[in-house]
Amino acid sequence: MTTPDNASAEPAPVASQDWAAASRNPQYRAAVVDLLGALAYGELAAFERLAEDAKLAPSLADKAELAKMASAEFHHFERLRDRLSSIGAVPGEAMEPFVSALDGFHRQTAPSDWLEGLVKAYVGDSIASDFYREVATRLDSDTRDLVLGVLDDTGHASFAVEKVRAAIEADSRVGGRLALWARRLMGEALSQSQRVVADRDALSTMLVGGLADGFDLAEVGKMFSRITEAHTKRMAALGLAA
């Protein structure tokens, strides 16, 4: 018979447990509170920025599309916050450690026009979706259901693709400018994520698939690589050499 510590050092056992069983491990519990706090503040910050970027819209219909995305992010936030409360965490406290990195990201990447805003909405939505999918496999069944449920409801950014593609077809120089912009978005996202990884041990350890003492930075790097590769492919498909 394995000890609980050994059992939870492997990702498979956690994934086959529900929250009640998995959360008996305090390190796992702390990691999930961190994860939900990071995701919740990510959604709240995304809501604010999309609502802000909606001001750049050239038409009321475009404004409404971005406002719709913002509102969807707010509903994701509500689900994540409610889960934090229901597992006995204080949502504000769980989110706090991630405020500075996420605000920093948005401050560094304020779009200067509508097309930059669209690319940011699309890139942000896609990276979030990749990240949710990566992390879901490492979670207990209840937390996984929540994360996949929120993920199911993303993908609102597809309208952005068509608009960006049309703008590039109309003027190829737009493509060069937006390719640089997309690269800057990804660079800034990686640099803020790495700050978070360095600060939050329990979360980072879980992200690489285990609860062993310490964690393998190379594994975190591999996850970031997979997400970056997917980003690069999407940008190429969009007509932006990333």
Which range, of 47-55, 153-161, 167-175, 220-228, touches its own copies by CB under 8 A? 47-55
Asked if 11 contacts 138 with a C-beta cutoff of 8 angstroms, the reply is: yes
**Binding of its own copies at residue 156 (CB under 8 A)?**
no
Least distance CB 91 / its own copies (angstroms): 7
Closest to its own copies by CB, 26 or 88: 88
Least distance CB 42 / its own copies (angstroms): 13
**Binding of its own copies at residue 47 (CB under 8 A)?**
yes
Nearest in space to 106 (alpha carbons), one of 176, 39, 192:
192
DSSP per-residue codes, 191-232: HHHHHHHHH-HHHHHHHTT---SS--HHHHHHHHHHHHHHHH
What dihedral angle (degrees, nearest 10) is formed by the CA atoms of 190, 94, 25, 152?
A: -60
Backbone angles phi, psi at 170, to 5 degrees: -70, -30
Candidate list 63, 133, 177, 195; residue touching its own copies; CB under 8 A: 63
Which range, of 6-14, 58-66, 142-150, 227-235, touches its own copies by CB under 8 A? 58-66
Share of the chain residues as helix, strand and coil, in percent rounded to the nearest 5: 80, 0, 20
**Binding of its own copies at residue 79 (CB under 8 A)?**
no
Closest to its own copies by CB, 31 or 66: 66
Candidate list 21, 30, 31, 54; residue touching its own copies; CB under 8 A: 54
Q: What is the spatial distance between Cα 49 and Cα 111, in angstroms, rounded to a whole number? A: 10
Closest to its own copies by CB, 55 or 226: 55
Helix (H, G, I), strand (E, B) or coil at 211: coil
Asked if 28 contacts 42 with a C-beta cutoff of 8 angstroms, the reply is: no
Site for its own copies in 83-122 (CB under 8 A): 91-92, 95-96, 99
Q: What is the spatial distance between Cα 97 and Cα 94, in angstroms, rounded to a whole number? A: 7
Which residues of the chain form contacts with its own copies (CB under 8 A)?
A: 41, 44, 47-48, 51-52, 54-55, 59-61, 63-64, 67-68, 70-71, 74-75, 77-78, 81, 91-92, 95-96, 99
